[in-house]
Structure 1
């Protein structure tokens, strides 16, 4: 295993466990086992999917962004999305924040969703935009919110 692979795996693990620690229901109860497994599994899968994007420093940002998105998706809906659905959701989310327009996605398993990006603005983190990702599994919507900022190489990174 290369140093780069070890660092990438370490970044994914940090995002996965930190996202799992923050996951709770609206009443402040701790996450269920499915939520925790979904967060960690989603972060790992998202990190692996993210590793397919970018190059150099952009690749590391894509891995972290993928892990964050996967953690968000995994925590929001447990382990209900398959890998293909997660990949479609990740790609759609990246496109939505990159192009600043609503982007929809649909999986073969019946899960679907859309991402509504907000207007871009300048911040201390750079050129950023907030977004809402709505995911439907079994006809029930789940929403996640976040902020993405553009990196010097043009890629986007999830910052919250």
Structure 2
């Protein structure tokens, strides 16, 4: 194998996952729309539960948690992920990923509009081995 061919072969072996390169992975829109229940459960209510004083309808909370996960896992730093529930809407903006030991972490801000009132919370989540994210307190 020539040196050029070998170099080209190696170039195809790079990894683009967040856990290896600290960069969001581009996936098809269909893949990005739904995260499994296990991935969502690891967020332990996410920032959305800190933002809703009266509680939040289960369906709206599910939408918000899906979007929190997708923002952490796939979204470029500073890019907003918008969501709309029946009685509440919001946006999640993740910051640049960083590494702590062997774990990838990201700070992010979740802003909601509920009854015409806007509120926001900031938090940090770290990625677990199985691909889930855990919100730090």
Q: Please, what TM-score do these two structures have when normalized by structure 2?
A: 0.63
* 1:100/1:120 contact within 8 Å kept: no
Query: Which has the larger helix fraction?
Result: 1
Q: Do 2:38 and 2:132's aligned partners in 1 also have CA atoms closer than 8 Å?
A: no
Instruction: Report the CA distance between 1:66 and its aligned residue.
Output: 2.7
More strand per residue: 2
1:58-97 equivalent positions in 2, closer than 5 A: 62-67=40-45, 69=46, 72-97=47-72
The 5 Å alignment of 1:109-124 reads: 109=87, 111-124=88-101
Q: How far apart are the structure 1 equivalents of 2:118 and 2:102?
A: 30
In structure 2, relative to structure 1, the CA distance for the partners of 1:125 and 1:85 (3 Å cut) is farther
CA 1:158–1:80 in structure 2 vs 1: closer, same or farther (change >3 Å)? closer
Q: Which runs of 5+ in 1 are unaligned?
A: 1-49, 55-61
Which segment is superposed worse, 132-141 or 79-88?
79-88
User: How far apart, in 2, do the equivalents of 1:148 and 1:127 lie?
Assistant: 9
Shift in CA distance, 132/125, structure 1 to aligned 2, threshold 3 Å = farther
1:130 aligns with 2:98: no
RMSD of aligned residue pairs (Cα, Å): 2.2
Are the equivalent residues in 2 in contact too, given 1:66–1:90 (CA < 8 A)?
no
Secondary structure of the corresponding residue to residue 43 of structure 2: helix
Q: Per the alignment, do residues 140 and 82 of structure 1 end up closer, same or farther by CA in structure 2, a change over 3 Å counting?
A: same
How far residue 140 of structure 1 moved from its aligned partner, in angstroms, is 1.2
Q: Counterpart in 2 of 1:153?
A: 130
SS at match of 2:38: coil
The 1:142–1:154 alpha-carbon spacing in structure 2 relative to 1, beyond 3 Å, is same
TM-superposed deviation, 1:75: 3.6
- TM-score by length of structure 1 reads 0.55
Aligned residue among 80, 85, 100 for 1:107: 85
Residues paired across the two proteins, number: 100
